[in-house]
């Protein structure tokens, strides 16, 4: 009887370890918005100017999509490379006009906010990582969602 119990305990432990391994393996390969280019640490540094870091959007009704556009200017001497764009809420998606911008040129990041279930005033942020001395920048918007 004791031997049968220890076999069941060992099988349960092996099952738990196996389950955790496959859970970890599945979640460790999530996609990010990385460019196929090298990471900013491997790129020469440049300078960035952002037209507006925080945008106040017009009120919308619940369920509507609101859009915030950010213009990024490459004012340095090397190409500007966006490594990633990371919205802090899964209610916000992003589009990048180009992941690499030549010196003297500009690019646009568009954030699209799905207001479904977000009644009230919302403050949302997105972090971008680029090849500048200040690697991380925060872009934000404020929007009021009417019920």
CATH code, domain carrying 106: 2.60.40.10
> pLDDT value at position 30?
41
Q: Is residue 8 part of a domain?
A: yes
On whether both 81 and 19 belong to a single domain, the answer is no
On whether both 49 and 26 belong to a single domain, the answer is no
Residue 12 per-residue DSSP state: H
Q: Which residues contact 41 (CB under 8 A, 6 or more apart)?
A: 131
- Quick check: pTM over 0.75? no
Using alpha carbons only, give the angle 77, 42, 25 rounded to the nearest 5 degrees: 140
What is the spatial order of strands in the sheet that 106-114 belongs to? 48-50, 65-74, 106-114, 92-96
Give mean pLDDT, residues 104-109.
97
Q: Is residue 35 part of a domain?
A: no
Q: Which residues contact 107 (CB under 8 A, 6 or more apart)?
A: 71, 72, 74, 80, 82, 96, 97, 98, 101
pLDDT for 87-104, tens place per residue?
A: 999 999 999 999 999 999
pLDDT for 7-52, tens place per residue?
A: 788 777 777 666 666 666 655 444 444 444 444 457 899 999 999 9
Tell me the β-bridge partners of 67.
112
On whether both 129 and 70 belong to a single domain, the answer is yes
Higher pLDDT, 3 or 7: 7
DSSP-assigned letters across all residues of 13-43: HHHHHHHHHHHHHHHTT------SS--GGGS
On whether both 95 and 141 belong to a single domain, the answer is yes
CA distance 117 to 52: 27
On whether both 10 and 69 belong to a single domain, the answer is no
């Amino acid at each position: 009887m004791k031997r049968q119990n220890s076999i069941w305990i060992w099988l349960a432990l092996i099952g738990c370890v196996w389950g955790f391994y496959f859970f970890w393996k599945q979640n460790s390969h999530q996609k990010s918005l990385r460019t196929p280019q090298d990471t900013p640490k491997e790129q020469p540094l440049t300078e960035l100017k952002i037209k507006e870091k925080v945008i106040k959007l017009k009120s919308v009704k619940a369920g509507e999509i609101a859009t915030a556009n950010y213009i990024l200017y490459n004012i340095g001497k090397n190409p500007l490379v966006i490594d990633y764009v990371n919205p802090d809420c899964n209610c916000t998606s992003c589009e990048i006009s180009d992941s690499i911008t030549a010196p003297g040129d500009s690019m646009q990041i568009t954030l699209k906010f799905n207001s479904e279930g977000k009644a009230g005033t919302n403050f949302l942020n997105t972090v971008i990582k680029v090849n500048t001395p200040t690697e991380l920048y925060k872009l934000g918007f404020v929007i009021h969602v009417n019920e």
